[in-house]
Structures are given as C-alpha cells and as structure tokens.
C-alpha cells in the first residue's frame, strides 16, 4: 500500500479513525480526572570543603567535592536518610515507600545536589524535602568524619577528627501551588496522538487483511482482464432496477459505456452469445444482464435475454413477465422457442427460465442447449445469457463452452481476490472466453471529477422564445 492508497483508505474509513480518536481522548480525560494530584517540592544543597587556607587547597577542595557529589546524591534515598525522616515527621509510610517519592540529582561540574519530593499534599511535600535535606547533611558529614584514634588522648594530641566536607542548604523547599501530575494538556495531546496512531493502525490492518477489490485497477491487475465497465452504486436500484426508469442517471450512463466498450472490445471476432456470471450470489449479475440487454436494444441492436439461472431465476420477475414457461420448457421439448418468447420492447425479447428442473447442470450442458442458442443467434443479433454464480454450483461451468464470450461481474468491497481468481481459473479450465470484467456497485466519487456532470445528468427544460411564451399565455387564457 503506497501513501496515496493509505490516505484514500483513511478517508474511506474515517469513522474508524474518529472512533479511535474519541476513545483515546476519553481515556486521557478519564485518567486526568481520576488521577490523584501530586505536588513536587524541591530543595538544594551546596557541598563545600572545610580546609581552604590558600588557592591550592581551595582548588583541591573543589575537585574533591565534585568527585564526591555524585556519590552523595545516591545516598539521599537510602534507609539511613528516610528512616529518621519517617520517625521525625511521623509519616504513615515505610522508609522504602518514602524513598520512591524522593529523587536526587547532581548537575555535572557543580557541587550542588537537588532533592525533589513528590506527595499528594503540597505542605507535606515541602516538610519532607526539608527534613530529608537536614538528615542527609548529617548522614554525609558523619560518613566523611574519620574515626578517632582511641578513647585516651594524651596532652598535646590532635583534637577530635571532623568531616572534611559540609553541606549547606541554598534553597529551602516551599509548598507548591500547582501539581506536577496529572497534566491535562499533555494527557490530552497524548490521547489525540494515541487515537490517531491507533486509528491509522486499525485502518492499515483492515486494509491489509481486507482482500476485497476497491478499484477496477486492482481488479485488472489481478485478473489481467480488461475492465469493460464500472457501475456506480444506486440506493434506488433495488426498487427500480431497470435503467429505463431513469434514462439519464449516472447508472444508466455507466451501462451505456459498458455496451460501447463491449462492442469495441472484440472488433475482429465480435461475440454474439454473451454469458454474464459472477463468483458468488449478490454481486449483481442479473441486474447487469438485464440492463446490458436494455442498453443494447436502446442502441438498435436486436437482443434476446435468456434466463439460464435455473436455480434462482430473477429476470422474469424484474420485467414483470411470466416465468413458468421458458428455457426449460424448450429444452425438454414441450414448446418451441417462439412459443415461449416474451417481448418487452421493439428490440428486446426475453426467454424466461421456465419451471425449475431437478438437473439444471445437465440441461445447460446438453446438446439441446447448444441448439437453442444457435437458433437464437439466427434470429437475434446478440444473445445475453444470465447464469448462476460460478463457485457455488457447476451450472455455469457446463454452459461456458457454449457461449462465445463471458462477462465476469465483481462487486466492489465484497468479492475478494481468491474468489475472483478461482472463478477465472474455472472458466479457463473449460475453455471459456472471458471478455472482461464489470466492476459493480462502486462508490461514486464525491463531487464532480469530470466537469459539471449534473448538467448532463438530466436534460434541461427547453427554453421558450418570447413569442412562444406569449402564445402559451394566450392559450392558457383561452382554456380558462
């Protein structure tokens, strides 16, 4: 999937992205509202050396302090510091739990130690920080103090040893006014980012797992067959399946394009018996057969439409014709073709399916079926045969060698790659000649990509001249 395809997938599945975004933002707001506010109080210590009689000693003391200050920072959260603080402030916690609330850092090339304490109570956070600083200073100075030589000292011996370093507080902790956690804006931004990433991930996953066809180009790349037509989805088609109900609609124009492409697809060897089928039921093969036959008849081509779907026939019902007598009646020898043929227009005749037989596969693959098709081609210029789907039953496989060409109807966003590939391979195995594909129920493009299509969609009312308008007014007055 390239970037363009991914962006189109995002636009097509925008609802998924919106749902993920709403859920992520809602989760971020819930976490923000349910989280207990945490306050942070900070104090700062300065590490200094006690000896400093000249410049050399001061420099050595500075180097000594910088070398030791990193080690001092690691002592802040030890039990030697937290234990006395818990007892001094009478905190309802353990030294280990208090240590998890304390962080200490020593900036490089400095002799400073920053101590930060986090607590739900801002006042208590400041008290703990100041107590930790005082206790920590005492612990460090005690650790740095050399051990005395012994209890008995003679006169003139050196005094008691002292710590070479001292820690002073440069900044006392005060009760903070604003919490450091939760952070509503950061949480909201994180929720928005997480929602977008989650939505994009879901879309990418669905597009990867979804092997149905979204474009006629993808269908052509898989099958290697020409796309002869793309029929847009029309929500009014179930109620009015025939294009004669809206002769200037986009759907009707799409069938006319299919008719034209079909006429020019095989100029040298133009087929006269065209079978229309699909991989599975519900892809619109009957609708395609009916309206293709109507568009051919509209162009002045003498056309016969044969309902060869002997399991679920729908052609007669679509036209409102009699279904009981038709193809099966002719195949079993109870009637001749001209006796059961029904006329719908000047150039379109319909041969209904007839009674449902117990052996449709054998009937359609019989020699008598070949004779019936030959008889029809001697009378009509084009014979459109509506058949059963390829994958569920074997009826169409037996009929395919008798046809001179096959149209494979593929429904957008429903038929997957494996189903189409299997259908094409099944036709190839029996020597069926596949003329091309019809991409059915496509999503019509938003807006108008090819100019003001609406100006061509419906014929405008004729403009009347001034004399015609005056004559019309006079006629209306005379009628009154």
**Quick one: what percent of the chain has pLDDT higher than 90?**
66
State the pLDDT confidence band at 345, using cuts at 50, 70 and 90. Answer: confident
User: What is the structure's pLDDT at 56?
Assistant: 52
Summarised one tens digit per residue, pLDDT across range 171-212 is 999 999 999 989 899 999 999 999 999 999 999 888 888 889
User: What is the structure's pLDDT at 270?
Assistant: 85
Across 375-393, average pLDDT: 96
Same domain, 245 and 113: no
**Average pLDDT for the chain:** 86
Same domain, 249 and 381: yes
User: What is the structure's pLDDT at 446?
Assistant: 60
Same domain, 128 and 249: no
Residue 472 to residue 233: CA distance in whole angstroms? 41
User: What is the structure's pLDDT at 166?
Assistant: 84
State the pLDDT confidence band at 295, using cuts at 50, 70 and 90. Answer: very high
In total, how many domains does the chain have? 3
Residue with tokens 């925008």: 14
Summarised one tens digit per residue, pLDDT across range 132-167 is 999 999 998 888 887 665 555 555 555 566 777 888
Residue 80 maps to a domain: yes
Summarised one tens digit per residue, pLDDT across range 1-14 is 678 878 888 888 89
Summarised one tens digit per residue, pLDDT across range 73-109 is 899 999 999 999 999 999 999 999 999 999 999 888 8
Across 349-365, average pLDDT: 95
Same domain, 386 and 428: yes
Sheet containing 342-343: order of strands: 227-232, 434-442, 405-411, 273-278, 382-386, 303-307, 348-351, 342-343
Give the domain range for residue 104: 39-146+163-171
Check pLDDT > 50 for residue 458: no
Residue 480 to residue 472: CA distance in whole angstroms? 12
Residue 261 maps to a domain: yes
State the pLDDT confidence band at 214, using cuts at 50, 70 and 90. Answer: confident
Across 338-343, average pLDDT: 95
Residue 129 to residue 470: CA distance in whole angstroms? 98
User: What is the structure's pLDDT at 207?
Assistant: 82
Same domain, 15 and 44: no
Same domain, 394 and 378: yes
User: What is the structure's pLDDT at 254?
Assistant: 95
Query: Would you say 21 and 29 are in contact if contact means Cβ atoms under 8 Å apart?
Result: no
3-state secondary structure of 111: coil
Lowest mean pLDDT among 104-118, 127-141, 435-449: 435-449
Residue 319 maps to a domain: yes
Q: What is the CATH number of the domain that holds 135?
A: 3.30.70.1130
Same domain, 105 and 199: no
Query: Would you say 226 and 437 are in contact if contact means Cβ atoms under 8 Å apart?
Result: yes
User: What is the structure's pLDDT at 62?
Assistant: 62
Query: Would you say 386 and 286 are in contact if contact means Cβ atoms under 8 Å apart?
Result: yes
Same domain, 295 and 361: yes
Whole-model pTM over 0.85: no
Q: What is the CATH number of the domain that holds 243?
A: 3.40.50.300
Q: Report residue 463: phi and psi, to 5°.
A: -85, 135
User: What is the structure's pLDDT at 298?
Assistant: 92
């Amino acid at each position: 999937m390239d970037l363009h395809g991914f962006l189109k997938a995002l636009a097509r599945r925008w609802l998924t992205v919106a749902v993920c975004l709403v859920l992520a933002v809602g989760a971020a707001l819930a976490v923000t509202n349910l989280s207990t506010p945490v306050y942070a109080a900070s104090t700062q210590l300065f590490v200094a050396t006690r000896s400093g009689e000249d410049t050399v000693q001061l420099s050595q003391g500075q180097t000594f302090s910088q070398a030791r200050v990193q080690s001092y920072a690691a002592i802040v959260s030890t039990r030697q510091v937290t234990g006395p603080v818990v007892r001094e402030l009478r905190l309802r916690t353990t030294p280990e739990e208090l240590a998890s609330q304390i962080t200490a850092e020593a900036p490089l090339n400095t002799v400073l130690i920053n101590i930060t304490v986090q607590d739900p109570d801002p006042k208590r956070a400041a008290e703990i920080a100041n107590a930790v600083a005082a206790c920590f200073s005492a612990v460090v100075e005690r650790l740095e103090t050399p051990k005395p030589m012994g209890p008995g000292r003679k006169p003139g011996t050196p005094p008691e040893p002292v710590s070479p370093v001292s820690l002073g507080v440069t900044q006392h902790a005060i009760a903070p006014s604003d919490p450091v956690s939760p952070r509503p804006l950061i949480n909201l931004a994180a929720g928005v980012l997480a929602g977008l990433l989650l939505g994009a991930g879901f879309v990418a996953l669905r597009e990867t797992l979804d092997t149905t066809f979204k474009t006629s180009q993808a269908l052509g790349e898989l099958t290697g067959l020409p796309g002869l037509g793309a029929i847009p989805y029309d929500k009014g088609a179930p109620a009015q399946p025939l294009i004669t109900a809206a002769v200037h609609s986009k759907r009707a124009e799409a069938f006319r394009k299919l008719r034209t492409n079909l006429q020019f697809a095989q100029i040298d060897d133009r087929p006269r018996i065209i079978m229309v089928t699909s991989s599975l039921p519900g892809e619109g093969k009957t609708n395609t057969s009916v309206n293709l036959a109507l568009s051919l008849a509209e162009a002045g081509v003498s056309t016969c439409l044969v309902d060869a779907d002997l399991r679920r026939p729908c052609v007669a019902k679509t036209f409102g014709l009699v279904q009981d007598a038709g193809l099966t009646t002719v195949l079993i020898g109870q009637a001749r073709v001209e006796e059961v043929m029904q006329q719908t227009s000047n150039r379109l005749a319909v041969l209904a399916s007839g009674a449902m037989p117990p052996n449709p596969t054998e009937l359609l693959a019989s020699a008598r079926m070949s004779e019936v098709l030959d008889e029809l081609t001697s009378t009509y210029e084009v014979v459109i045969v509506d058949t059963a789907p390829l994958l569920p039953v074997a009826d169409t496989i037996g009929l395919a060698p008798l046809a001179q060409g096959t149209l494979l109807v593929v429904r957008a966003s429903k038929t997957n790659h494996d189903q189409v590939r299997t259908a094409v391979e099944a036709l190839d195995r029996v020597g069926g000649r596949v003329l091309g594909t019809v991409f059915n129920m496509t999503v019509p493009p938003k807006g108008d990509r090819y100019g003001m299509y609406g100006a061509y969609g419906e014929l405008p009312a004729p403009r009347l001249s001034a004399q015609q308008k005056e004559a019309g007014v006079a006629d209306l007055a005379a009628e009154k």
